Structure 1
Amino acid sequence: MTLTVPCLFGLESLVADEMKRLQLQNVRAENGRVHCDGTMADIARLNIGLRCGARVLMELGSFPAPDFEALFQGVLALPWEDYIPRDGEFPVKGYTINSALHSVPACQAIVKKASAKRMGNVYGCETLPETGSRYQIQFAIIKDVATLYLDTSGEGLYKRGYRAQNMGAPLRETMAAALVTLSRYRGRDPFCDPFCGSGTIPIEAALIAKNRAPGLDRSFAAQRWKSMDSKLWLSAAEEAQDREFHGTYDIWGGDIDPSCVELARHNAELAGVEDCIRFEVADAGKFHRDSEYGQVVTNPPYGERLLEKSEAEALYRSFGAACKTLPPKWRILVLSSHTEFERSFDRMADKKRKLYNGMLKCDLFMYGK
C-alpha cells in the first residue's frame, strides 16, 4: 500500500530521510507530503518512530473527480469494508486545491454518503451504528484528482505526550526535532537553548541523542482498529527500544522566567529524559560557554505575539553580543519570523532556510560550518 506523511512546509527532505532510515521503500517527497510503499507493520513503525512528520495516512485510492458524480462513484468503488467494521465510526474531513469541486462541506457530504452506502450494502444495513473505534477518513482533491485516506495516527504526531502545558507561543515538537536535526547534533557536543520556554527543543535533543523513538509513550488511532494486528505495535515498539543509546549528554536549557524553567523540568520528567538535561534560570544576553565545540539551537520571541517588535530587537542585540563570545567552532541556529533579525543580531547568517512554524512563515538563521 501507499503511506503518506504530511509535514510542515520546509521539512519534506527531513521526513524523507527519516523514512529511508526506517527502511521504507520508494520514498518520494512533494510539497507538504512524503509518500512511501509500506505494509500494516510499517504503519506502526512510522507512527512510533517519526520525529518530524505530522501524521501517517494510509491511501485507499486515487481517481479523477471533476464533478460530484465522479467523486461519489470513485468513493463507492473503494473497499471500505476491508478496514472499517460494521460498528466503526468514520467521520470525514479534507481539502481541495485548484479543483472544480471547491466546497469542502459538499465534498465531505458526498464522501460520507458514498462510503456509507458501500458499507451499508456489504453489511446489510441502511444505517450504520458508528459506535465503535474511529476510522478517520481524509480526502485531498488536487487539480481534479481525489485521493482518499484513513488516518492511522489520530492526534498529530507532534503530541508526544510529555508537554503538560505551554508557556506563551509554543513550538511544535515536530519543528523542534527538525531544528535539532538541522543542527547535526548527535549527542557528542554540548547543546544549548538559551530561550528554552517549556523545554521542547532540549527535550527533543535528548530524545535524538538517546535515539529514543518519540511515539513510545502515546497511543494511535490504528491501535484500536480490528483490521490491524496488535502484535505489530508490540513488535515496532520493541524494535525502536532495541535501537536506543545509553550515554552521558551535555544538554542545557535556560530561560529568564523561573516558571518556564520549572515547567521545562516537569516536561523532561514526563519525557523520561530529565537525567540528560540541565535547566537553569538564565539571561540569554549573558550566555557563554568555553568548550571548543557545541550547538546553540533556539526559538526566541518573535515580536509578534510575546513581545513588541522593539523589545524583540533589543533581545536579539544582547543575545547576538553574547554569541560573539563563543569559540569560533560553535554552530548557532535561530528560528525567527522577524524580518530584521540579522541586523539586530549584528551578523549575517551563513545559511538561511525557510520554514513554517504553524502558519507563521519563518527563517532558520544558521551560523557556523
Structure 2
Amino acid sequence: MKLTLVCPCLLGIEGLVADELRALQCENVRSENGRVYCDGDMQTVARININARYAERVMILLKNFQALSFEELFQGVKSIPWEQLLLKEDTFPVSGSSVKSQLFSISDCQAIIKKAIVERLKEKYNISWFEETGPLHKVRFWIMKDQVSIMIDTSGNGLHKRGYRKNALEAPIKETLAAAVAKLARVRSDGTIIDPFCGSGTILIEALMLAKNMAPGVKRKFNAEDWLNIPKKIWREERERAESLVLQDAKVQAFGFDIEDEAIELTIANAKKAGVFAHLKAQKRDIRDFKAETDYGCVLANPPYGERLLDREGAAELYRVMGKVFTPKRGWSYSIITPEDQFEKLFTKKADRRRKLYNGMIPCQLYMYYK
C-alpha cells in the first residue's frame, strides 16, 4: 500500500531531514516549516523510524481537507478508509492542535474526530462497540488556518528517545538537535571529536553514532511494530540492514570534558548504553585548560548560558574564555550552539558560518569556525 508520510522536525533542520530521507531511498521528498513529507510503504515506515537521526517522529498522512464547521470535520474524517489501518480491536486515541482556525476547541475536535472514526468502523465491521484492547494507533490532527491534516503516529515515543539516555543533567540538548549539530560540523569517521561541556554526553554520543553510521533507533521499539496488519519481518529486515551498514573499522575518537564529576559519570554510562564507549574518553577538566593538542579536531559545544544554568554575566565570561582557548588552527573547527545574540562580540571572533536552530523552544545560533 502506497503511503504519504510526514516527519515533524525541529525548525532549522528540515534540509537535513529531507537529505536523510532521500538517502534512505524515500520517494517524492518535499519539506515545509517544521515537517518533511515523502512517499513510501510500510517498509519505508520501518526504515525511517529505525534510521532517522533528525526527525521527531514518523506519521502516516491520511487526508488533508478544509473544515470550517464540525460537520465538515466529521464528514472529512469519516471519508477516510479507516478499516484499512484499524482492526476492530485496535486502540485509537485522538490528539492534536489547532491554530488560527474556526475550529479552535481541541477537546471538541478530538470528540468529533473520534466519533467519525467510530461511525465509519461501525459500518465496515457491523459492530456497535469497540473495546479498544488491541495495539495502539495514535490518531493525530493538525488544523492550521482551517486546513485539516489527519495522521496516524507510527513511532510512539519521539524519535529523539534513542534509549541510551536514562539519566541527564539539567537542561540537556535534545538528541535530534545534537545529531544535527554533528552533521553540520561535518564529523568524520576518522576524526577527533571534543565536547568541553559534555554534560550527560549527548553531543558526543550522537556524533560518534553519526561517524560510525549507527542507526539511532535500532535498539528501541516503535508503536507500529505491534500493528497486526504489518508483517514482523519488515522490522527484522530493516534492523539487519541498518546493522550491516555500521562502520566497524571507524577510527573516530571522542573526548568529553566537564567540571562536574557527575557529568563525567553520566557521559560514560550513557556511552556504554549507546554502544560507543570504546571510542570515548571522559575526564574532569575546566574550559580554561582546553588545548588543541592533536593535529586536527572538531569541537562541538553547547555551553551553559544565562537563560539556563548560569547568570548572564557568568555566561558572558565563559564565552570570553572560549574565545581565548578556541584558537584558529589548521585542521581544527569549532561549532558552538547558543541563544546569546552577542556571542560573536563576547567570543571576539566573527563566525565563518552561522545557522539558526532551535533548542526546544529557545531560538539559537550555531556558530561555526573553521578557517
- TM-score w.r.t. structure 1 length? 0.97
Matched, 1:125 2:164: no
Q: Which moved more, 1:87-96 or 1:172-181?
A: 87-96
Equivalent residues in 2 for 1:98-137, closer than 5 Å = 98-137=100-139
Structure 1 counterpart of 2:317, one-letter code: A
Identity, in percent, stands at 44
Structure 2 counterpart of 1:266, one-letter code: A
Pick aligned residue for 1:84 from 83, 86, 92: 86
Equivalent residues in 2 for 1:133-152, closer than 5 Å = 133-152=135-154
Q: Write the distance in 2 (CA, Å) between the matches of 1:230 and 1:141.
A: 33
The C-alpha deviation readout for 1:82-110, integer Å capped at 9, x for no partner, is 11111111111111233222222221111
Q: Write the distance in 2 (CA, Å) between the matches of 1:168 and 1:144.
A: 39
Equivalent residues in 2 for 1:305-316, closer than 5 Å = 305-316=308-319
Q: Write the distance in 1 (CA, Å) between the matches of 2:64 and 2:288.
A: 54
Q: Find the counterpart in structure 2 of residue 357 from structure 1.
A: 359
- Matched-pair contact (CA < 8 Å) for 2:188–2:252: no
CA RMSD across the alignment = 1.2
Q: Write the distance in 2 (CA, Å) between the matches of 1:349 and 1:63.
A: 44
Q: Write the distance in 2 (CA, Å) between the matches of 1:152 and 1:55.
A: 8
- Matched-pair contact (CA < 8 Å) for 1:354–1:361: yes
Q: Write the distance in 2 (CA, Å) between the matches of 1:17 and 1:294.
A: 25
Matched, 1:271 2:274: yes
List gaps (5 residues or longer) in structure 2. Answer: none
Equivalent residues in 2 for 1:143-222, closer than 5 Å = 143-222=145-224
Q: Write the distance in 2 (CA, Å) between the matches of 1:130 and 1:94.
A: 20
Q: Find the counterpart in structure 1 of residue 45 from structure 2.
A: 43
List gaps (5 residues or longer) in structure 1. Answer: none
Structure 2 counterpart of 1:164, one-letter code: K
Following superposition, the deviation at residue 146 of structure 1 comes to: 1.2
Q: Which moved more, 1:40-49 or 1:346-355?
A: 346-355
Following superposition, the deviation at residue 125 of structure 1 comes to: 2.5
Matched, 1:322 2:329: no
The C-alpha deviation readout for 1:328-361, integer Å capped at 9, x for no partner, is 4311110001122112212121221111111111
Pick aligned residue for 2:334 from 316, 332, 356: 332
- Matched-pair contact (CA < 8 Å) for 1:285–1:315: no
The C-alpha deviation readout for 1:162-212, integer Å capped at 9, x for no partner, is 001110101111000000000011222211110110000110111011101
Q: Which moved more, 1:94-103 or 1:328-337?
A: 94-103
Count of equivalent residues = 368
- TM-score w.r.t. structure 2 length? 0.97
Could you say what secondary structure the match of 1:275 adopts?
helix
Q: Find the counterpart in structure 1 of residue 286 from structure 2.
A: 283
- Matched-pair contact (CA < 8 Å) for 1:286–1:319: no
Matched, 1:294 2:283: no
- Matched-pair contact (CA < 8 Å) for 1:59–1:150: yes
Q: Find the counterpart in structure 2 of residue 252 from structure 1.
A: 255
